[in-house]
Structure 1
Amino acid sequence: MSLNSQTLTGSGQDWTTNGSSSSSSRRGPMENERMILKPSTPTRNPIPPENAITIAVSAQVLFNMEKEQQIYEQQGMEGYIQYQREHETEPFSPGPACSFVKALEAVNTQLRKLYPDSEELFDVVLMTDNDAEVGPRLNNTINHHQLFIERFCETGGNRPVADHTHLYLSSDPGKVREALAKGIAAAIMFTPEKMNEVSETQLRVAFDGDGVLFSDESERIFKKDGLEGFQEHEKTHEKDPMKHGPMKCFLEALGKLQNKLNVNGQRMDCPIRTYLVTARDDGSAGKRAMNTLSSWGLEIDEAHFLAGAPKGPKLEEIRPHIFFDDQKSHVDGAVEMGTVACHVPYGKANELSKKGVMGKETSAE
């Protein structure tokens, strides 16, 4: 197996809830769960959830709230709320998801130009466990950074995300696992110490293959029978599609919008670009990956088969807004080189770490 890389360029549930409009940190579970419709600047009509591609993002990955988290842990909810009130006009600094959310809005801008009446747009929902009294600071921060987020969902920690969500991003492993268990694409987002500059006009999304776009069936063969067993299995099943993994539905959503935006056949200039960055080689293992995507009716703009080489350098070259991988070591390597990377705790690679993070984690998210 060579260590080179090859690039192929080619072709439910409503968010509105019935909770009380009053706010108190001592409310019951159902009273503490409600939706806030927030007018952005400039104001836009909310996108109907049933037609949108819904991206749920926790406050702690959209903004940098490390200091506030420390205050919550040291002083409890009352001290946390008091601090937020006193700093209401002080915006949070951007978090790892901020550039991704801005890129989604850039795609929406292009879609609105081409299809003024279409409701097939990205709809970002801010997820937070915070008491509503913290809302004004979040509002001010969103307007300060010129983000277009019309909806907040305050769950009180009871329900992680609505069933129709296409992608859920959080720093809380327990909530991400709960979402994955419901069949929702979800990942734990990590923050690089220094983030790479990314495109302001083209959304770039990079995916690992096994355990992310595809199921982990081949990965299980590799762990059981080693490299030779894996290669023989992929050669034998080269034309057999793999089962889908947790991020397939998000790639489908991106592909649907790509087809709408690719009106002049200029694929390279499309406002959305997708990447497969996998440890597979470019032999039978790579062919099976591409055959699987083809059998689903999906395309990937670039496929990089690294044959076990580190992914960080290739991702630094691509500069995606977001990268998904089921193996924490690959996520760590990407983060070290400035890529905003997300861990998908799914499949064989994460079975041993599953215990201990299924429970609710203490967070001021």
Structure 2
Amino acid sequence: MPATLNGQLVVAISSRALFDFEAENEVFEAHDDHAYMALQQRLLDEPAAPGVAFSLVKKLLAFNAGGTPRVEVVVLSRNDPMSGLRVFRSARHYGLPIERGVFTRGASPWRYLRPLSAQLFLSANDDDVRQALAAGVAAARVMPQAARASAAHPHELRIAFDGDAVLFSDEAEQVFQRDGLAAFQAHETQHAHRPLPAGPFKPVLQALHVLQQVPGMAVRTALVTARSAPAHERAIRTLMDWDIEVDEAMFLGGLAKGEFLREFEPDFFFDDQAGHVASAAQHVPAGQVAAGIASALPVKA
């Protein structure tokens, strides 16, 4: 019988999201893949430093303690196979039980998400993330220079999500962008009892809800949204309709999210708007979900 990943949360992650390969990437950008490969070969026995999503991956893999496979992490990377050796050696150095990887030497790897049955894809490559989202896979472009996760909660996985265009569809955001705040508030009040359609990260939240039932590692989730009363009600009622709970909800009414996330201390934060991600990345690991009408908005100075 062939191996199967059925029943597990499958997370695909690029090498730059898992490890800090920014110095190596500068060589690639300045020269070519041959120079990059030569550098990686010289550094083969030197473990790469943890990257922006390292804490997230380490804690997810901890749910497999006891021998029951619940989470599978697969490296899905534009790296060449030889450079992939350093990725696996670095993972082994840090005690990360990562066994599977796909290395495509510059070609987009997103097409392998389907045979992996991946529910989440994290990459520093914007095109790969957008293609994954278009294929129906929750995906985020990580900010490699973002702050690293706090070490204060070693036995608790903490993840924060934006609402519209992340957990929920961007139905309401379209009203806001087209007609303004007053129309948005009126629309959400009128439809408070009608659940919002699902966004790309609903399956991820559902998978975390399942992991919350596993003894040992804990899971703490937060909804961090620019919504405020009265538009808060539809978001909460939607989660109730899904029979999914979040531990914390922050209805910030347009306030910058970064300092609130600093206090929550997530292992990762997902948002669709570049400005919110930039604010968050000063304090916590963050990534942009390039989905919905607001994902292309410019960052305000």
Equivalent runs, 1:67-216 vs 2, <5 Å: 67-109=23-65, 112=66, 116=67, 118-119=68-69, 121-156=70-105, 157-160=107-110, 161-163=112-114, 164-192=117-145, 194-198=147-151, 199-216=153-170
Residues in 2 aligned to 1:319 and 1:334: alpha-carbon distance in whole angstroms: 11
Quickly say closer, same or farther: Cα 1:133–1:252, change in 2 above 3 A.
same
Which one has more relative contact order, counting CA pairs under 8 Å at least 6 apart?
1
2:189·2:231 contact (CA, 8 Å) conserved in 1?
A: yes
1:211·1:347 contact (CA, 8 Å) conserved in 2?
A: yes
Shift of 1:260: 4.1
Counterpart residue identity of residue 129, structure 2: V
Residue aligned with 1:308, SS: coil
Residue aligned with 2:213, SS: helix
2:62·2:217 contact (CA, 8 Å) conserved in 1?
A: no
Structure 2 residue 222 is the aligned partner of structure 1 residue 275: yes
Residues in 2 aligned to 1:177 and 1:238: alpha-carbon distance in whole angstroms: 30
Residues in 2 aligned to 1:318 and 1:352: alpha-carbon distance in whole angstroms: 26
Structure 2 residue 238 is the aligned partner of structure 1 residue 318: no
Which runs of 5 or more structure 1 residues have no equivalent in the other structure? 1-15, 17-46, 262-268, 354-365
Larger Rg: 1
Report the counterpart of residue 219 of structure 1 in structure 2: 173
Residues in 1 aligned to 2:50 and 2:213: alpha-carbon distance in whole angstroms: 31
Shift of 1:350: 2.6
Report the counterpart of residue 62 of structure 1 in structure 2: 18
The alignment of Structure 1 onto Structure 2 pairs a total of residues equal to 292
Structure holding more helix per residue: 2
Residues in 1 aligned to 2:281 and 2:108: alpha-carbon distance in whole angstroms: 30
Residues 101-145 of structure 1, C-alpha deviation per residue, up to 9 Å, x if partnerless?
Answer: 111122332xx3xxx5x44x1110011222222233222211222
Counterpart residue identity of residue 8, structure 2: A
Residues 183-211 of structure 1, C-alpha deviation per residue, up to 9 Å, x if partnerless?
Answer: 00000011345435242110001000011
Residue aligned with 1:310, SS: coil
Which runs of 5 or more structure 2 residues have no equivalent in the other structure? none
1:59·1:127 contact (CA, 8 Å) conserved in 2?
A: yes
Shift of 1:172: 0.3
Residues in 1 aligned to 2:72 and 2:131: alpha-carbon distance in whole angstroms: 22
Residues in 1 aligned to 2:147 and 2:285: alpha-carbon distance in whole angstroms: 10
Residues 68-110 of structure 1, C-alpha deviation per residue, up to 9 Å, x if partnerless?
Answer: 112222331222222222221111111101111111122332x
Residues 265-303 of structure 1, C-alpha deviation per residue, up to 9 Å, x if partnerless?
Answer: xxxx9611111011111x331111011111112111111
Structure 2 residue 290 is the aligned partner of structure 1 residue 345: yes
Q: Percent identity?
A: 39
Moved over 4 A (4+): none
Residues in 1 aligned to 2:108 and 2:122: alpha-carbon distance in whole angstroms: 16
RMSD: 1.9
1:54·1:167 contact (CA, 8 Å) conserved in 2?
A: yes
Structure 2 residue 219 is the aligned partner of structure 1 residue 290: no
Residues in 1 aligned to 2:108 and 2:124: alpha-carbon distance in whole angstroms: 16
Residues 226-276 of structure 1, C-alpha deviation per residue, up to 9 Å, x if partnerless?
Answer: 111111111111101111111111001111221344xxxxxxx96111110
2:227·2:252 contact (CA, 8 Å) conserved in 1?
A: yes
Residues 313-357 of structure 1, C-alpha deviation per residue, up to 9 Å, x if partnerless?
Answer: 110000000000011101000112x2101100111113578xxxx
Residues in 2 aligned to 1:193 and 1:291: alpha-carbon distance in whole angstroms: 32
